[in-house]
């Protein structure tokens, strides 16, 4: 799902927002809680660092954190709508 989301950044922002809100609602039905999303984001960040090592720059890390924050905020909106 992350690859799809990243490919939609830019010209399809509104569609991506709708998809992420819907995805948040689905995750809520699976029992995922909003406070779990930052943990997942950190896990993916650490995996990127381990896999890419010195190819994973500070700029990459900053971009990942900003992008994941936006995507997870939309998912949290979807979770709240289900609540």
pLDDT band at 74 (very low <50, low <70, confident <90, very high): very high
The average pLDDT across 57-67 equals 93
* Residue 6, pLDDT above cutoff 80: no
In the DSSP assignment, the letter for residue 31 is: T
1 vs 60, residue with greater confidence: 60
- Residue 5 has a pLDDT of 63
Is pLDDT larger for residue 53 or for residue 83?
Answer: 53
Residues 6 and 19: beta-carbon distance below 8 Å? no
Backbone angles phi, psi at 42, to 5 degrees: -65, -35
Helices (H) and strands (E) in the chain, counts: 4, 0
Instruction: Identify the weakest region by mean pLDDT among 7-21, 49-63, 65-79.
Output: 7-21
Residue 34: CB atoms within 10 A of its CB come to 18
Can you list the pairs that 45-52 forms with residues at least 24 positions away whose Cβ atoms lie under 8 Å?
A: none
């Amino acid at each position: 799902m992350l690859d799809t989301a990243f490919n939609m950044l830019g010209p399809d922002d509104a569609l991506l927002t709708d998809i992420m809100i819907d995805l948040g609602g689905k995750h809520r039905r699976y029992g995922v809680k909003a406070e779990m999303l930052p943990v997942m984001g950190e896990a993916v960040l650490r995996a990127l660092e381990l896999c890419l090592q010195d190819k994973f720059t500070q700029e990459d890390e900053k971009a990942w954190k900003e992008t994941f924050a936006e995507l997870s905020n939309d998912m949290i909106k979807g979770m709240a709508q289900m609540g």
